[in-house]
Structure formats: C-alpha cells, structure tokens
Structure 1
C-alpha cells in the first residue's frame, strides 16, 4: 500500500492554518439573510415592547402600530450595528455593541413602567457585560497587528 509521506519544512499557507467552511448559498441568499435575521429579531422585539406597554390589557390598533414601528426601527438599528461594527477597531466595536444593547434593553424595560433608576442601572449593567464580552471576542480573534482572523 502506498501512503503519502508528510512534508517537513513547508506549510500550505494561510488557508491551511485557517480553513473556511464551504459556501453553499448564493450571494442573493446571503443578502436576504442579512436583512431577514435582524427583521425576525425585530419582530420579536416589537411584539415584546408592545406587550410590555399594554401591561396585559386589551390589544388596540395603537398598540399594534407601536409594535410594528418599534420592530422596524430596531431592525434598522441592528442592521446598521451589524454592518458598521465589523469595520471598527475592537474598542469602538465593543462600545457600539454596549450602546446598542443598553439602549435596546432600556427601551424594552422602560415600557413596563418601572422606575427610571432601575431601568438605567440594569441597562448599564447589561451593556457593560455585552461590551466586555464583545471586546474579549474581537481581541481573541485578531492577530498581533489588529487584523481579524477568519
């Protein structure tokens, strides 16, 4: 039987160190998914905000309109953050996610009628946690020069 002998002293290049998964979807499918994902999350967010605002009361036309407007605005902001954050250095990347997460949670929590201090405190806590996690993630996925790996 014939077996391939390992080659010593040579590397196959950057592709061997960081293999990529095959891309089975078309560019059109990726474009649709880039908007469908945030829109689906936005619909859930809009429904949640509308449900918090009505506090178990009857569903009204104003409540439904509030939910859809909230979903659209959230979708636009999330798509913007997803597009912009990957182009920023790691500190600004993490700060952008801190701002977005804190503001989104604060708006959602404020619809329930809780106190402003509790809303701000919880929003800051969640935003800081997400910002630190995001900074760590980006920091560990960069090389020594700050270029993203993979």
Structure 2
C-alpha cells in the first residue's frame, strides 16, 4: 500500500464517477472478490441473506458502529456486472469486472450529485477499493486508514472533478 493514497476516480461519459482497480485475478476470482461474503468480509464487510430475494444485508466494518445496510440487487450478470442500491441513502452502485484469466479491472461506479458530496464520497470509495486490493493481495486491509490520507486528503480532487 502506498504511503500516500492517490485519487483514482474519473468521470465516465455518462457522468458517473468510476473507481477502477487492476488486480492479478481471473474474471471468476474478481467476481468472487466482490460477491462472496467470505471475500468481501475483510475489505468492506460480510453480507448475509439470500441474493435470490433481491436484498442482502451488508455490515460495513470500517464505518463507525459497523452499521448493517440493506442492499438491493438491481441487476446481476455474473461474472461481469452487478448493480445494487443501498438504503437508506438510495445510492446506486455499479460494479464491473473486465479482463481475462490473468488480470481484471474491477470498477465501482456511482452517480454523485454534486461537488460537496463528491468531496466525501470519492475518498470513501478510494479507501474501500484500496482495502479490496490489500485483501486480495493477502495483506491486512485494516492497515489502510481513512483519515487523514483519504479524507480530507483526496477531497479536493473529487470536489474539482464535479466542478466545485
């Protein structure tokens, strides 16, 4: 993990902010990294429930109080795409896995409404995506610290990205 995190988010042609990470995994391994509760547990948190019902509950382990967040499954095209919505904030998140048997790019995308929201949301997704990289590399995601390197460290990049 670099000592100083870098802002990775960029605007897609549709206006969503994309947070990509390149990993030495197959597409199937990349899919498992973002959908298997045992693999999500170290970097974002474990989830429970039956995805076939359309909703699972994610425990956000790196957030204060480790809140349990209902996550609705909007669209699922394994092993390349999953779109989810979170409650109570109503965020819609798209996760894409692209690549081959040697390397994938896992991208998280979100429509962020304004520059001030981006100043906190953007650093948060960089933080979680770097935790994903650390977990998949067999390192300790807990070594990645949100404050002050991610927030407020990366805030200006995201504020400027959305015109603030």
Query: What's the TM-score once normalised by structure 2's chain length?
Result: 0.35
Whose relative contact order is higher, 1 or 2, with alpha carbons under 8 Å and at least 6 apart?
Answer: 2
Instruction: Please state which structure has a larger fraction of its residues in helix.
Output: 1
Structure of larger gyration radius: 1
Query: What's the TM-score once normalised by structure 1's chain length?
Result: 0.38
